[in-house]
Structure 1
Amino acid sequence: MTLTMKYTPSDFNPGLCDFLDASPTPYHAVASMQTLLEDNGFTQLHEADSWGQLDAGQYFVIRQASIIAFTLNGQELVSSGIRMVGAHTDSPCLKVKPKPEKVKQTLLQLGVEVYGGALLNPWFDRDLSLAGRVSYENAQGQIEQVIIDFKEAIATIPSLAIHLDREVNQNRNINPQLHLPPILAQVDDGDSLDFRALLEQQCRQQYPDINIGRVLDYEMCFYDTQKAAVIGLSADFISSARLDNLLSCYIGLQALLAADKTRPALLVCNDHEEVGSQSVSGAQGTFLQSVLQRLAMNTEAYQRMVEQSMMISADNAHAIHPNYADRHDAEHGPLLNKGPVIKTNANQRYATSSQTSAIFRQLCQQHNVPVQDFVVRTDMACGSTIGPITSSHIGVKTIDIGLPTFAMHSIRELAGSQDAVMLCKVLTAYFNQK
Structure 2
Amino acid sequence: MSKKAEKLKEKLFMKKDNCWDLQKDQKDKIFDFAEGYKEALDLGKTERRFIAYSVKQLEDAGFKEISQFDQLNQGDKVYLTMHDKTLIAAVIGEEEPSKGFNIVGSHVDSPRLDLKPNPLMEENDLVYFKTHYYGGIKKYHWLSTALSLHGIIYLEDGEKIEISVGDDPSDPVFTITDLLPHLDKHLSSKKVSEFVNPEKMNLLIGSIPYPDTDVKDRFKLGILNLLHEQYGITEVDFNRAEIEIVPAQMARDVGFDRSMIGAYGQDDRVCAYTSLQALIDTKPSKRTVAILFADKEEIGSDGNTGAKSEIFLYQLNHLHELILGREPKRREIEEF
Identify the TM-score tier after normalising by the shorter chain.
0.7 to 0.9
Q: Secondary structure at the match of 1:295?
A: helix
Is the aligned partner of 1:17 residue 2:45?
no
> Which residue among 131, 137, 141 is the counterpart of 1:118?
137
Q: Which secondary structure state, in structure 1, belongs to the residue aligned with residue 73 of structure 2?
A: coil
Residue 178 of structure 2: which of 153, 159, 179 is its match?
159
Once the two structures are TM-superposed, the CA of residue 283 in structure 1 deviates from its matched residue by 0.5
Q: Once the two structures are superposed, what CA deviation does each residue of 1:194-248 show, in whole Å capped at 9, x if it has no partner?
A: 677766655579xxxxxxxx77611001111110012112212110001111111
Deviation at 1:146, TM superposition (A): 4.7
Deviation at 1:261, TM superposition (A): 2.2
User: Among residues 53, 68, 75, which one is paired with 1:32 in the alignment?
Assistant: 53
Q: Which residue of 2 aligns with 1:150?
A: 165
Quick one: structure 1 residues 216 and 104, their matched pair in 2 at CA, closer, same or farther if it must change by over 3 Å? closer
Q: Is the 8 A contact 1:153 1:225 kept in 2?
A: no
Task: Tell me the SS of whatever aligns to 2:219.
Answer: coil
Task: Provide the rounded CA distance (Å) in 2 between the counterparts of 1:93 and 1:219.
Answer: 13
Task: Write the deviation string for residues 133-173 of structure 1: whole angstroms up to 9, x where unpaired.
Answer: 22235xxx4x3535331132331112211212225456351
The alignment yields a C-alpha RMSD, in angstroms, of 2.5
Determine the structure 2 residue equivalent to 1:85. 104
Aligned to 2:96: 76
Secondary structure of the structure 2 residue equivalent to 1:75: coil
After TM superposition, the score normalised by the length of structure 2 is: 0.77
2:118–2:238: 8 Å Cα contact kept in structure 1? no
**Cα contact 2:78–2:90 (8 A) shared by 1:** yes
**The structure with more radius of gyration:** 2
Residue pair 2:114, 2:131 contacting (<8 A) in 1 also: yes
2-structure distance, mates of 1:246, 1:183: 28
- Distance of 1:240 and 1:224 partners within structure 2: 9
Partner SS, residue 8 of structure 1: helix
**Larger RCO: Structure 1 or Structure 2 (Cα < 8 Å, ≥ 6 residues apart)?**
2
Q: Give the gaps of 5 or more residues in structure 1.
A: 1-5, 206-213, 306-434
Cα 1:153–1:247 change in 2 (3 A) is: farther
**Separation of aligned partners in 1, 2:263 and 2:91:** 30
Q: 1:278 to 1:232 in 2, by over 3 A?
A: same
Instruction: Assess, with a 3 A threshold, how the Cα gap between structure 1 residues 24 and 69 changes in structure 2: closer, same or farther.
Output: same
Compute the TM-score of the two structures, normalised by the length of structure 1.
0.60
Structure-2 separation of matches of 1:200 and 1:38: 35
Q: Give me the whole-angstrom Cα distance separating, in 1, the residues matched to 2:247 and 2:31.
A: 25
Q: Does 1:66 align with 2:82?
A: no
Deviations 1:363-392 (A, max 9, x none): xxxxxxxxxxxxxxxxxxxxxxxxxxxxxx
Task: Kindly provide the amino acid, as one letter, of the partner of residue 335 in structure 2.
Answer: R
Report Cα offsets for 1:238-278 as digits up to 9, x if no partner. Answer: 10001111111111101111112223111111111111111
CA distance in 2, matches of 1:20, 1:204: 30
Q: Distance in 2 between matches of 1:268 and 1:201?
A: 40
Of Structure 1 and Structure 2, the greater helix share is in 2
Whole-angstrom CA distance in 2 between matches of 1:111 and 1:215: 12
Q: Any unmatched runs of 5+ in structure 2? A: 1-26, 322-327
